[in-house]
Amino acid sequence: MRFHRWVLATVALVRLFMLPGVAAQAPPQTQTRPHEPGGSHDATVQHPFDDADRWAKVFDDPGRDTWQKPSEVAKALGLKPGMVVADLGAGTGYFARTLSEAVRPGGMVLALDVEPSMVRYLAARARKEGLENLVPVLALPDDPFLPKGRIDRVLIVDTYHHLSSRLDYFRRMRGSMAPGGKVAVADFQKRPLPVGPPPEHKLEPQFVIQEMNEAGWRLVEEKDFLPYQYFLIFEPAQR
């Protein structure tokens, strides 16, 4: 019952941000930060994603499927009917339908983003596409608002390098995981590529592994089916 009340409260929050006249806070200016091993755990780049319609043309470009491979991503996550999966940094919902179908029946997709415009876009998309098991969630930059002990999978695609205070962020996330829960991080390889941000905004996979280890996670699998991105799967380390 507590989980259902949490979902209802989240839906109410989404509806609030869909009302006219509710404004978002001013987004941060573009900012690049150092990310050397043993150094900062802040975002390597910060810039607004507040124009959902503009970003939809980028995130939902049909050509993205050829290299992002959404069906293979869902398969790599080991999704099953009834699971609760969180899409962290869901944006305009590129993975929404794939994840939604993978956990049916009985499962749920929590589509999280810190931009109110993205959350409104996700809500409209879920309604338009009939994704009844997708719940858009307005998160804070330092807190994803995940329910305790209920999350089976967390998918973080091209978002890890945007997070600040990652050690505290992922330490707290441990408490949200259900038994057997896992976190998957997919981000661009740190080299020039035809898609994605410039190399200086990217993080090496070994740096991500090091940070996650410090935050109390251990790498359990690394997959190489994506041509431009690494795909790392973590689970909470035993203590």
- pLDDT tens digits along 15-32: 333 333 322 222 333 333
pLDDT-based confidence at 51, cuts 50/70/90?
low
As a whole number of angstroms, the distance between CA 64 and CA 56 comes to: 12
pLDDT-based confidence at residue 136 (cuts at 50, 70, 90): very high
Find the mean pLDDT for residues 61-79. 94
- Amino acid at position 137, single letter: V
Which pLDDT does position 60 carry in this prediction? 62
Segment 116-133 shows an average pLDDT of 94
pLDDT score of 8 more than 60: no
- The residue among 45, 77, 236 whose CA lies nearest residue 158 is 45
Q: What are phi and psi of 230, to 5 degrees?
A: -85, 160
Residue 167 has phi, psi (to 5 degrees) of -60, -50
| Eight-state DSSP code of residue 227 | S
Classify residue 121 as exposed, middle or buried by CB count within 10 Å of its CB (0-12, 13-18, 19+).
buried
Per residue in 152-187, pLDDT (tens digit) is: 999 999 999 989 899 999 999 999 999 999 999 999
- The answer to whether 192 touches 235, Cβ cutoff 8 Å, is no
Q: Which helix (H) or strand (E) holds 151?
A: strand 151-157
CB count within 10 Å of CB 239 equals 5
DSSP state letter for 143: B
Is residue 44 very low, low, confident or very high in pLDDT (cuts 50, 70, 90)? Answer: low
CA angle 146/44/231 to nearest 5° reads 60
pLDDT score at 57: 52
Instruction: Check residue 121 and give its pLDDT.
Output: 92
Distance between CA atoms of residues 111 and 134, nearest Å = 7
Contact (Cβ atoms closer than 8 angstroms) between residue 94 and residue 60: yes
- DSSP label at residue 228: S
Domains of the chain: residue spans and CATH: 2-11+52-57+69-236 (3.40.50.150)
